[in-house]
């Protein structure tokens, strides 16, 4: 759990007064990976791991920010049109500029922030950071006038315009809308969503962080998105959500093998999300788990966003009798998400840890999933 007192003390030490605290969480995603920017469904939940900040206005036009975990300080004017070059500070700067663009008069402020969402683990530490700032600035300078979906879009626009990752809306949506004990099914085309209470009797969700840092900035993530957009436009539809298997097969001779396989993954994932929703109605976790393994296969072989360490963890999970396991989030490292029987948990932890250490000489990190609330004032 994040220790807010540390942030408050640091704020007082640096700026000589007290500030107000806000928090926004990272997320998990049960199923529906790389479907958000294809207009499809996702199934995320907010987690307890969060980013928090302590803020107070300073009466001028400067933002003075200090990132506790990175021991990184930066200052920029709210009117600066270039912003800092450090990528971590560009998240802060981007949110400030996007909030201003939405019509809120942001004034100068001092801020200290930090958190416990592991960086590069596929748990959306960057969305947590964006959402924490977006929520705080809207509350502080805008009297809370922007709604949560608008704030999520401000976070997403920050990634697009200031960091260069052409992400979908899932992470920021989850960080803004999370609810303790519930997963959410979001239709990324219409923006409609539903809460699904998550109390899987006899089962639990566990993350395993491979500690291979996933880095979406300047990464092949954007290439995947471009492939999907190319196929959608050739099929004459807005997104792959509206492309059928028949249309894809018709197009096949005109597609590169890579684009074809990527589109196959996305179409398959659409079907899997629906199968999971259906299975959840019946509390059929064995089917949910099977679909998770199938998602991993698609992400590894067709979408090509896995890596040897993650494939090893998924194979190990299967050998140990875990109900479902797959890479989670954007890919290229980070965490696996595992659905397992409660009774398996202890032996899974020790065997996964030991075998990973033997194979890669790296300690993996086991993270039990606790579904928490979305962005809020503390």
Q: Least distance to ligand GLA from the beta carbon of 193, Å? A: 15
Backbone angles phi, psi at 7, to 5 degrees: -65, -40
Q: What's the CA gap between 26 and 131, in Å, rounded?
A: 10
Q: Least distance to ligand GLA from the beta carbon of 168, Å? A: 3
Which span (34-42, 74-82, 226-234, 236-244) binds ligand GLA, by CB under 6 A? 34-42
Q: Is 36 in the site for ligand GLA (CB under 6 A)?
A: yes
Question: Strand order of the sheet with strand 182-187?
Answer: 41-42, 182-187, 193-197
- Among positions 314-333, residues that touch ligand GLA (CB under 6 A) are 329-330
The number of beta carbons lying within 10 Å of the beta carbon of residue 1 is 9
Interface map 106-135 toward ligand GLA (x if CB under 6 A): ------------------x-----------
| Of 36, 110, 139, 171, catalytic | 171
Q: What's the CA gap between 192 and 2, in Å, rounded?
A: 31
Are the CB atoms for 22 and 136 separated by under 8 Å? yes
Q: What is the CA radius of gyration of the chain?
A: 21
The single residue among 8, 34, 270, 296 that binds ligand GLA, judged by CB under 6 A, is: 34
Q: Is 40 in the site for ligand GLA (CB under 6 A)?
A: no
Q: Is 167 in the site for ligand GLA (CB under 6 A)?
A: yes
Q: What's the CA gap between 91 and 105, in Å, rounded?
A: 18
Backbone angles phi, psi at 14, to 5 degrees: -80, -40
User: Residue 241 has what DSSP assignment?
Assistant: G
Q: Is 155 in the site for ligand GLA (CB under 6 A)?
A: no
- Closest CB to ligand GLA among 109 and 221? 221
Q: Is 302 in the site for ligand GLA (CB under 6 A)?
A: no
The single residue among 33, 98, 130, 259 that binds ligand GLA, judged by CB under 6 A, is: 33
Q: Is 37 in the site for ligand GLA (CB under 6 A)?
A: yes
The single residue among 84, 168, 178, 374 that binds ligand GLA, judged by CB under 6 A, is: 168
- Closest CB to ligand GLA among 83 and 334? 334
Q: Which residue has the tokens 């070059």?
A: 85
Q: Are strands 109-115 and 44-57 parallel, antiparallel or unpaired?
A: antiparallel
Helical packing angle, 308-319 and 345-360, nearest 10°:
140
Q: Are strands 203-209 and 365-368 parallel, antiparallel or unpaired?
A: antiparallel
Q: Which residue has the tokens 């020790």?
A: 350
Q: Least distance to ligand GLA from the beta carbon of 228, Å? A: 10
Q: What's the CA gap between 328 and 42, in Å, rounded?
A: 12
Interface map 230-269 toward ligand GLA (x if CB under 6 A): ----------------------------------------
- Closest CB to ligand GLA among 135 and 221? 221
Instruction: Single out the residue of 126, 68, 91, 53 nearest to residue 76, CA to CA.
Output: 91
- Closest CB to ligand GLA among 226 and 341? 226
Q: Is 48 in the site for ligand GLA (CB under 6 A)?
A: no
What value, to the nearest 5°, has the Cα angle with vertex 310 and ends 304 and 313? 140
Whether 110 is a known active-site residue: answer no
Which span (30-38, 52-60, 205-213, 292-300) binds ligand GLA, by CB under 6 A? 30-38
Q: What's the CA gap between 187 and 266, in Å, rounded?
A: 15
| Active site amino acids | 171
Site for ligand GLA, rule CB under 6 A: 33-34, 36-37, 124, 167-168, 170-171, 329-330
């Amino acid at each position: 759990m994040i220790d807010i007192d540390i942030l408050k003390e640091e704020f007082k030490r640096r700026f000589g007064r007290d500030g107000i605290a806000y928090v926004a969480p990272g997320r998990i995603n049960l199923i529906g990976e790389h479907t958000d920017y294809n207009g499809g469904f996702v199934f995320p939940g907010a987690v307890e791991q969060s980013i928090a900040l302590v803020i107070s206005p300073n009466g001028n036009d400067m933002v003075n920010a200090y990132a506790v975990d990175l021991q990184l300080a930066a200052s920029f004017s709210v009117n600066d049109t270039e912003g800092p070059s450090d990528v971590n500070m560009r998240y802060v700067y981007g949110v400030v500029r996007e909030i201003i663009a939405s019509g809120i008069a942001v004034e100068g402020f001092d801020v200290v922030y930090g958190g416990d969402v592991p960086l590069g683990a596929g748990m959306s530490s960057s969305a947590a950071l964006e959402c924490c700032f977006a929520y705080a600035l809207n509350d502080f300078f805008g009297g809370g006038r922007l709604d949560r979906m608008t704030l999520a879009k401000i976070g997403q626009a920050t990634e697009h315009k200031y960091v260069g990752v052409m992400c979908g809306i899932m992470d920021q949506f989850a960080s803004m809308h999370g609810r303790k004990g519930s997963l959410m099914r979001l239709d990324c085309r219409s923006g409609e969503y539903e809460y699904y209470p998550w109390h899987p009797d006899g089962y639990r969700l566990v993350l395993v962080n491979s500690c291979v840092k996933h880095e979406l900035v300047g990464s092949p993530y954007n290439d995947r998105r471009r492939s999907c957009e190319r196929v959608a436009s050739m099929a004459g539809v807005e997104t792959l959500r509206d492309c059928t298997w028949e249309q894809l097969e018709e197009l096949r001779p005109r597609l590169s093998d890579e684009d074809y396989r990527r589109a196959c993954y996305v179409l398959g994932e659409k079907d899997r999300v629906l199968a999971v929703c259906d299975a959840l109605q019946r509390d059929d976790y064995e089917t949910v788990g099977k679909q998770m393994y199938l998602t991993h296969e698609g992400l590894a072989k067709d979408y090509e966003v896995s890596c040897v360490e993650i494939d090893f963890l998924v194979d190990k999970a299967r050998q140990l009798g875990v109900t479902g396991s797959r890479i989670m989030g954007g890919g290229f490292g980070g965490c696996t998400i595992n659905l397992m029987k409660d009774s398996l948990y202890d032996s899974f932890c020790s065997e996964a840890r030991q075998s990973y250490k033997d194979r890669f000489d790296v300690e993996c990190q086991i993270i039990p999933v606790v579904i928490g609330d979305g962005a809020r004032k503390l």
